Every structure is written in C-alpha cells, then in structure tokens.
Structure 1
C-alpha cells in the first residue's frame, strides 16, 4: 500500500482519484495523496479544449463558479489541509496571474473585484498543526494572523489585505525564516522587523503602492524590489550580493548606482536595474568602488524625442567604479550616444572577450508594459546601426550582431559586453 500511495502521489489529484474505479484495493488509496491541488487544471472538464481561447476562458469560468458555490466551505478545506500537518500550504483565491497586477498598480488600471476577499483568521492555525509547516503562500485574501510559525522557512503574501502590525507580528515570530515575499499588498505602509532573523536570505518586495519604508533586523543575501524609491534599512548589508531593482516611475540608474543604496554594499556581485532616465547625472568625483561586482544588467528607458537630456556615454563611468566587471548588459536601440558607449567599451576594455548585440529584451522580464514602451515610439534600425558603426570597428573579432525577430519592434536590441 505504501508503494501504491507513492505512485499515486506522483499523479495529478484528478487522475489519482480516477484510479478508485480500477479495483477494490485502489478505491481509497488516493485519499493518501500528498499533494492536494485544486485549480482550473486539476478540476477540468474533459470536453473542454484548451487549445482555443474561448475554451480556456470557459474552463476558468467553470472553476471560479465551482469555487464560489462552495465558498462557505473554505474554512473546512483549510482546516482539513492544516490538520494534515503539511510542510507546504498554498492558498490562492485569484484567477489572475501575478503579472496582471503590474498593470493595475503600476499603471493605474482597474481590476474588477467581485466581492470582499476571503478572511483567513489565526484560529485556523493551531500551534500543534503548524509545527510541520515550512512554506506558506497566500494570494488574494484578507489576513489577520498575529501568529508565528516556529519552523516556517518561506512566506509569500501576494495581493493580501494585511496591516503593518500583522506583518511585523508574523515576521517577529518566524525565527527560521529564510525567504519572504510581499507583493501587491495595498494596505502595507511599512515593513519593519526589529527581532533578528539570523537565517534570513531572500527578500522580495513588489509594488506595494503605499509602502514608505523597509527596516529589517537581518542581513539578506538577495533583494528583489519593484516600486518607488523607499529607505532600505538592514542590520547589515555585508552579505548582500544580488540586487534586482525596478523603479516606477522615475529614477536615474547611474545616480542610484553612484550615490544610492548599492553604494553601501561592499560585497555586491550582481546588480539588475530597470529605470527611466529623466535627466543627466553628475557623478561624484570620489566614487565608491564596487570591487566585487561582476555582473551588471541595466534596462535604461530613454526617449529620443529631440529633447532628451541624458547621455548614455556617461555610463562609461561604470568601468571606473567596477574594475572587475565581467558582464555588462544594457539596452541598445541604435542611438548615437549608445553607439559611442559601445565603441568606448570596445576600444578601452583590453581584456574584452565577447560583445553580443541581439534584438531581444531579457532584463525587463515582462515588466516593460504600457508605460515603458517609449523606445518603440522612437526606435531606429538598431541592427543596421550596430552592424555599420560598431561591428565594422571591431578589429579583435569579439563582436557578434544577431538579428532576432522581436515583438517590441525592430530597433530594440540588448548589448552584452
């Protein structure tokens, strides 16, 4: 029976349930299935054809209708799941993909809300049942949970109605926490945790529109942040090696690198920035050195409409402040100053092994939505410019210009140096 249970646990829950008709021995084996996943895939109807958009919508609509019909039983489902002492508990009450929230909160688009969110209370989590819980993911619900989880290592809150006090209370009681994500939480104005988290490593904060500060008594190794510029205060930044930042809407990348939060990170290895360049930056005469920085990825939103005040050639400054930089990626659209920067790097980087120019945006990772399509309105033939003015100047055979179709427009390319 243990072998049969292990085999059935590898099947989707709906297929595992179907095995109950095969024999008497298998009738109840599916009840020991270790992964209970109820979504629009596992609760599918066989006549739906997912290959067409209409049937995909119909399948999603049927799933939402079924869940709404049994909304009164959610407490019972949660109680049953928690009583099973799971190591991982995921509760998502949204049929929206995470990327859809970017349009709503980053660009002011409105999302239809059918009714107030389901309220998940602390009474559903008893200390005895939660002693095994290591991963907790919650999405699109209301949370009042002033309770910690002694063995919790990963906590994710997405589109959750939660107060600053509840966030602080949870963090202060999760002593083993290693990963924390808080995304699209509209009520949160402050993320503070004064109790030390010695094992904490990864922090993800994305588009909390009212957020004003982040203060954690810990020393993380990675940070992923999307939103407006806010104070970032940690007990120590000595371990912070990987930082990814998307600023909405305006912040100079060069200014932020030279004088902002990254300039206090002595061990920074990888830095990714997506910024809209509003004006030219005056860099400091005595810059902070990034002696450990090896990888720098920049998505610079620049609008070449004839009145642009920025000069991409200023980014040659990066070669001075990051002497051991091994990989540099930034947007290349064929503008004159971008060509000048590419030529400057080509001529002054004597140990340069490879420079690749390819029309493919990778850094933004689907974040460059409506408000960031400046380049598409003012693009030029980046491939032609790169071939004519940069590739022809290569006397060491290190440049490779690749022509790749892109849905963003023919002039958008990315340069890796």
Structure 2
C-alpha cells in the first residue's frame, strides 16, 4: 500500500497533533479563547473534552445565554452556573460576570462561595436597578487583588478584617452607607486605585488609603476629605457637593503632597458663603499639581470663583491648564446677585511661572474671558501654546470675531514662544 501523501497525510496527522499537545500548551490556548469557544474545544478529542474545566480565568456574559423561544435567559444562566460548579476543576483566579442586560436577577451566592479561596480578580456587573445584596462570603475572599462591582448593595460584616492584597477597587452604582464605605477603603492597606460612582447621596467620607495613587469620584456627596493619601498622583472629583457653604479645599487636599493631576467639576454646586467668611488668597500650603482641568466654570466675580483662584495660586508648578467656561450670559445670577465681570485686581498674585499650555473651551469672547486671557499671557513666561475653542464664537458676525481675535493678538506676552491657536472641537 502506498503511504498517504499531500492532503491525506495532513488529515491523518492533525488529530494526533491536537491530542498530543502538552497540557500546559492546551491551557495556554484555552486561556486566549472566549469562554464559549473554550467549551466548544471539548469535541476535538477525549483529551480536550474537559480541559476547559481547568481554566483559571472565566468570563460569563450575554453571549452564553442568548434567548431562544423555548428558553428564558435566566434559566439558561442558572444551567451554566450549575455546570461550572459541577464540572470545574482547580481554582478560578479571574472571573467576570456581566449580566447587566439580564432581566431576571439569578442567585449567585453559591458561585461566590465557590470562588472565595482563590479568586484574585473579580468583576460583577449585575442587572441595572436591581441592587443585588452581595453575600457576606465576598468579604472572605482573602486573595482579592482587583474588585469591580456594579449595581449591587454591599454591607460588610462587623467581623470583616479587610482585603490585605487588594490594589484596585471600583464601585459603580453601588448602594452602601458612608460609614461602611469609609471602613471598606481603610481596610485595604495596599489600595492603589479607587473609583467610586455613586447612585445615591452620600454623607461626608474620609479617604484613608496611604498607598493610593489614583482616585476618581462621581456622584453627590455632602463633603469629601482626602485624609491620608500621601502617594496620590491623580484625582478626578466630579458631581455635586450638597453642603458647599462648608467647603474647605485646605482640608480636602491637606495630605495630597504628591498630587500632580487634578480634574474638578464640583462647580455646578451652589456655593453659599458663610457669614463673615472670606475665601483665602491661597491654601496654607502649596501643591505639586502639574495639570489642572476645570469643567463648567463661570469667570465672573463670585464666591465660587474665589475658591478656584485660591487653588490656582496654590499650584505654583502648574504646566497644563484647561478650562471649560460657562457662558457668562447663561450663568445662574440667582446664586449671587453681586456677580459681575472679572476685575484685574481679583487676579492679583496669580502667576503661571511654569505653564506651558492653556486650553480654553466654550469661548465666546466675554469680558471676563478676555480679562483672564490677558492676565495669563502677561504672567506666563514659558507659555508655548494657548488653544481657544471658537465653536460658540463662530455664531457671532465676522466683524465681531475679527475684533476679538485682534484684541487677543495685541495682548502683551511675557513668553516669546507663546502661540495662540483657534480650534473647533465639535
């Protein structure tokens, strides 16, 4: 008999090659496949049949239980979880459950119990508006390094000793109390990244996380204090502060000695001055902030603007500044009846000795905007570029625009490199 050649030879060899792959090679292949495709490899050979059950990383999402006419997706989900609990061998160190669009809210307590001893990276994106109460078992997952929770409620037990290895925590739409949130954060001594997006109003919280390097907060809160964050480099504070009459930036940023990037959008809040209180010119200390992003700010004389100028004077090493300006004509004049255009003396002692780039968004050529640009150009000795978003200005007549551009071009500049660029970012 003639030996097989060509295509026949390849076909006869392929099953043996697949079957004889070393276990570590099969594991490496399976880890790269989506969970659904990994399960399908069970038909390749007997050796592959249950190999997917040893995967250390699993992702369960809607692609696994697409609704059929004869099967409710929640039922299908329960079947998959049951099979995993029955068939899986060895530890699961990384698990993602994404059931945001699942109408029902299936029971997952048993599966969290199954994961508890080895899980290091856990992502739970649960159905919206259901607020699943996570079991206390979650707080026994001592190997956790990354925890990402969406749309659930968490109330850790009083015996909770902390996540000693956790380095990143993201809570989005999570229901809890300010006290428990404070406690949870303080019980993660290695925490480096913290992202909070709340779905409900919170009382004041203090962030006690000595290893924290990145912090993002979005939501409504009465007050926030970065109490113990000496390594914090980036902070994003977006939302509303309810009790802004007691806003104290000196207290908020007191321990932020390493802070280099700050984005602030608490400015839509209503600032109310306490009787007899005057905003200080600057903080009692300087911060090492190099980038400062201000969203939705009105450059008119106001108690609110005084807080921002206080911060700017306290950032002597600022290199990049971006402002998204609210139209002066659209600002809320009911907030402060004494609001008026920005005056030169208000900007006294405000210098930008290290500023390289300034971006001004939503520019309309108002009096206060022009005054701020004039001051900045005259007090920025190393400025290289001033970028102005002219999108809203383009609605003005051509002669009005030309007049504004001419005025800006004639403003004195201390930096010989300063270039003014007009862009439309729409």
Give the alignment's TM-score, normalised by structure 2. Answer: 0.66
Match of 2:318 in 1: 293
Aligned to 1:118: 132
Whole-Å Cα distance in 2 between the matches of residues 383 and 42 of structure 1? 58
How far apart in 2 are the matches of 1:223 and 1:123?
A: 31
Q: Deviations over 1:332-351 (max 9, x none)?
A: 43324345655665677565
For the pair 1:21 / 2:43, whether they are aligned, the reply is yes
SS at match of 1:223: strand
Task: Report the Cα distance in structure 1 between the residues aligned to 2:331 and 2:188, rounded to whole angstroms.
Answer: 53
1:328 matched to 2:351? The reply is: no
1-structure distance, mates of 2:325, 2:371: 16
Query: 2:210 aligns to what?
Result: 198
Q: Distance in 2 between matches of 1:66 and 1:234?
A: 41
Matches within 5 A, 1:279-318: 279-281=300-302, 288=313, 290-304=315-329, 309-311=339-341, 317=347
Between the aligned partners of 1:89 and 1:315, the Cα distance in structure 2 is: 54
1:71 and 2:106 are equivalent in the alignment:
yes
Bigger drift between 379-388 and 146-155 goes to: 379-388
- Cα separation, 2, equivalents of 1:23 and 1:290: 65
Alpha-carbon offset, residue 359 of structure 1: 5.2
Deviations along 1:251-279, one digit per CA (max 9) or x if unpaired, are 68xxxxx8488774421211111134284
Match of 2:29 in 1: 7
- Indicate whether 1:170 and 2:184 are aligned: yes
Which residue of structure 2 aligns with residue 145 of structure 1?
Answer: 156
Q: Which has the higher contact order (CA 8 A, sep 6+)?
A: 1
Separation in structure 1 between the aligned mates of residue 55 and residue 401 of structure 2, nearest angstrom: 56
SS at 1:161 equivalent: coil
Change (3 A) 1:121 1:264: farther
| TM alignment of 1:229-248, pairs within 5 A | 229=244, 230-231=247-248, 232-233=251-252, 236-248=255-267
Corresponding residue number in structure 2 for 1:58? none
Match for residue 119 of structure 2? 86
Kindly provide the CA deviation profile for residues 16-44 of structure 1, in whole angstroms up to 9, marking residues without a partner as x. 22222233332222223333222335655
Contact (CA 8 Å) 1:289, 1:322: kept in 2 or not? no
Q: Please, which of 155, 162, 165 is the counterpart of residue 169 of structure 2?
A: 155
Residue 56 (structure 2) aligns with = 34
Residues in 2 aligned to 1:391 and 1:11: alpha-carbon distance in whole angstroms: 60
Q: Shift of the alpha carbon at 1:218?
A: 3.0
Which blocks of at least 5 consecutive residues in structure 2 are unaligned? 1-22, 70-97, 272-278, 334-338, 411-416
Q: Could you say if the C-alpha distance between residues 334 and 192 of structure 1 is closer, same or farther in structure 2, counting changes exceeding 3 Å?
A: closer
RMSD: 4.1
C-alpha contact 1:334 1:386 (8 A) present in aligned 2: no
Q: Give the equivalent residue in structure 1 for 2:419.
A: 398
Deviation at 1:402, TM superposition (A): 3.9
Q: Could you tell me whether the CA contact under 8 Å between 1:13 and 1:36 is conserved in 2?
A: yes
Higher CA-based Rg: 2
Shift in CA distance, 263/38, structure 1 to aligned 2, threshold 3 Å:
farther
1:170 to 1:23, Cα distance in 2 relative to 1, 3 A: same
SS across alignment from 2:28: helix
Unaligned segments of structure 1, at least 5 residues:
48-61, 96-112, 253-257, 361-374, 407-417
Preserved CA contact (<8 Å) 2:325 2:363: no
